Structure 1
Amino acid sequence: MEHTVERVFTKEILHNAASGFGIEVDEKPVGDFENYIFKGHTKDGIARVLRLTHSSHRQKNEIEAELTFLKYVRENGANAAGSLLSLNGNLVEEHIASDGTSFFAAMFEWADGKLVDRTNPNVWNDDLMFKLGKTLGKLHALTVNYPVTSARESWDEEAYLQVMLNHEELGPHTKVLLEEMSHYPRQTNSYGLIHSDLHFHNFFVNDEGEITAFDFDDLQYNYFISDIAIVLYYTAWGSKKSYEENSAYAKKQLAILRKGYETEFVLEEEWYSRIPAFLKCRDHVLYYVLKMKYEGKEEHSQRVNELCEQIRERIVNGKTIVDLG
């Protein structure tokens, strides 16, 4: 979390927010990257998630649009942790900080299961990849007929990409990529509201191997294939295997992911040939995010610098994190 946000976040704001949703929360967050995430419980002991978002990150109408969409897909059978109402019957409650900025509170179902261990073949396997594909396919099928909202941005309006356009070294590469992708058609059968961040820290897997997706904070209008590309991107993220090994693995995973996806929704073949552009786009976004969130924080600096340098080299050389060719 940025220092400016850390300075104005207080225990009073946290407990007032929890009270508004009728829960008690642990004061230690389970996440604090772009939002503060806390685990809580109702009086009956039912686990819940409380999220607090600073107004520098999202505005109230943006969050309401996210939660309304999440409520819709959850009620229509998607494997997602649904949004829940406050005691006042609202999806979002606002709490004013000492500097006049706001924290927006929202509550969600607690997803059953736990984070997946990618080193455990009994969990991270073909069956899981099939179910990930099926989960995305269901979300996209529900997106097709969902009413358009102006409260969620399009992928090319994303602040991180806009800042990257002005980067002295990498900006020209960002510009070329965005110009290429701007020519892709925006049609309802391939473009709409998507999760856009379904990496392995944004879903739980229970003992039966079932998936529950969460963290729809990055919900945006984007091409459906982007969600598929992001799953593939993170099959190689942080891997110590060779580029060739990661690429071979990603090709295999794509075939399985697609089988699961097509049980719920079918994309035209040409979209799969465009995956490399979306892998590159992820690199551009992550480069800025890592720099913004961690630069200057000594406990992260070495590893973050290594990752940023790997990304920078791929960008300037026109490479992707894996080769699907």
Structure 2
Amino acid sequence: MLKLNYLFHNENLAEMIVKNWSYDPESTEMFRYYRISSNAIYPFRKDGRTQLLRFAPVQEKNKSNIEAELAFIKYLRENEYGVLVAVKSNRGEELAEIRTPWGVYYASAFVRVPGSAINQTDLADEIIFSHGHALGELHRLSSKYEPEPGAPRRWSYIDVLDWIDDQIKEYANAAIARSEVQLLREHFADLPVHTRNYGLIHYDFEYDNVFYDHEAKRCYAIDFDDAMYHWYAMDIEQALDSLQDCISEELYNHKKHCFLEGYRTAFDLPEDPDAVFPALRRFANLYSYARLLRSVAEKWDHEPEWMQHLRTKFEQSMRSKSTLFGTKLS
């Protein structure tokens, strides 16, 4: 999540940045369908085909992480995995660093994947199965992935815990969250690590980041912005948590079975994943808490109503996610 002051819709900024790519000039009318969260996303068209412009201030991102993300996406695409395609800028760059009156931004552009986000489908069994298969295939390819010598590497869960500790230490009442960091460090240090259970994961393989193409009957993954080295079970836990948000409690166990069966067709399930899910959920809650805390830390006079509403929503989420902080991990 970007800091709140970066969440303002800025069409002039988007137009300055998109001019670094080839585009249909009249397609800037699509900017009204923008979305801003961890990045600003603005749709546009090139030769009638929808593409997505993604950008964020350089102080909000790690350049090596973005370069490593794009390299992993390229590897997946070369192995015929359903994934978004990066579009090179007019200067031949997949990652552009652009100076604007509002500061310096990192920007990339991607071709929109086919199909619909899974949370916009009827969540039929075959779609849930395909979602599980796509995650298993992602982990299978990840287990064989090694960045080019000298190329940037994505950060790991250890780096994320270091980042969290650094980000929250200056805030009031940070002690309980910092104790959660230490609990997770100690817990994860005892878990086995090998190529069948640990590697570069998507981290956010949820239903708004996975598209299902009914014609091809396959899934396409987008938004690798949170990718990190972690246990594969982290992706499974996040996906199943997202599933619970989409369907009724009565259907959950059946749909969970469909998802896991799909996963097994591509990759072996981690041993006893249910045993590690609670600690992984604690990690996800802590990471989200730290990002939200950082986002809402600064306040201004006469904030617009949407910002006040978002601040309240984030603060409520932080209270919910921090309920178990500092308590014993089983």
Q: Smaller-chain TM-score range?
A: 0.7 to 0.9
Alignment-derived partner of residue 138 in structure 1? 137
Q: Aligned partner of 1:103: which letter?
A: Y
| Identity value in percent | 22
Alignment-derived partner of residue 127 in structure 2? 128
Q: Aligned partner of 1:32: which letter?
A: I
Q: TM-score, normalised by structure 2?
A: 0.81
Q: Aligned partner of 1:193: which letter?
A: L
2:240 equivalent to 1:236: no
Alignment-derived partner of residue 27 in structure 1? 31
Query: Do the aligned partners of 2:129 and 2:260 also contact (CA within 8 Å) in 1?
Result: yes
- The whole-number CA distance in structure 2 between the counterparts of 1:305 and 1:232 is 24
Higher RCO (CA < 8 A, seq sep 6+): 2
Q: Aligned partner of 1:201: which letter?
A: D
Query: Do the aligned partners of 2:119 and 2:208 also contact (CA within 8 Å) in 1?
Result: no
For structure 2, list consecutive stretches of 5 or more residues without a partner in the other structure: 300-306
Q: Aligned partner of 1:92: which letter?
A: L
Name the SS for the 2:175 alignment partner. Answer: coil
2:277 equivalent to 1:275: yes
- 1:165-204 equivalences under 5 Å are 166=169, 167-204=174-211
2:290 equivalent to 1:288: yes
- 1:4-83 equivalences under 5 Å are 4-5=5-6, 11=11, 13-24=13-24, 25=28, 26-28=30-32, 30-42=34-46, 44-83=47-86
Alignment-derived partner of residue 3 in structure 2? 2
Alignment-derived partner of residue 232 in structure 2? 224
Change (3 A) 1:127 1:315: farther
Query: Do the aligned partners of 2:113 and 2:220 also contact (CA within 8 Å) in 1?
Result: yes
For structure 1, list consecutive stretches of 5 or more residues without a partner in the other structure: 321-325
Query: Do the aligned partners of 1:81 and 1:213 also contact (CA within 8 Å) in 2?
Result: yes
- How far did 1:230 drift? 0.6
Change (3 A) 1:303 1:14: closer
- The whole-number CA distance in structure 1 between the counterparts of 2:153 and 2:58 is 14
- The whole-number CA distance in structure 1 between the counterparts of 2:245 and 2:78 is 32
Q: TM-score, normalised by structure 1?
A: 0.82
Q: How many residues align?
A: 308
Query: Do the aligned partners of 1:133 and 1:257 also contact (CA within 8 Å) in 2?
Result: yes
Q: Aligned partner of 1:230: which letter?
A: Q
- How far did 1:302 drift? 3.9
- How far did 1:216 drift? 0.5
Name the SS for the 1:185 alignment partner. Answer: coil
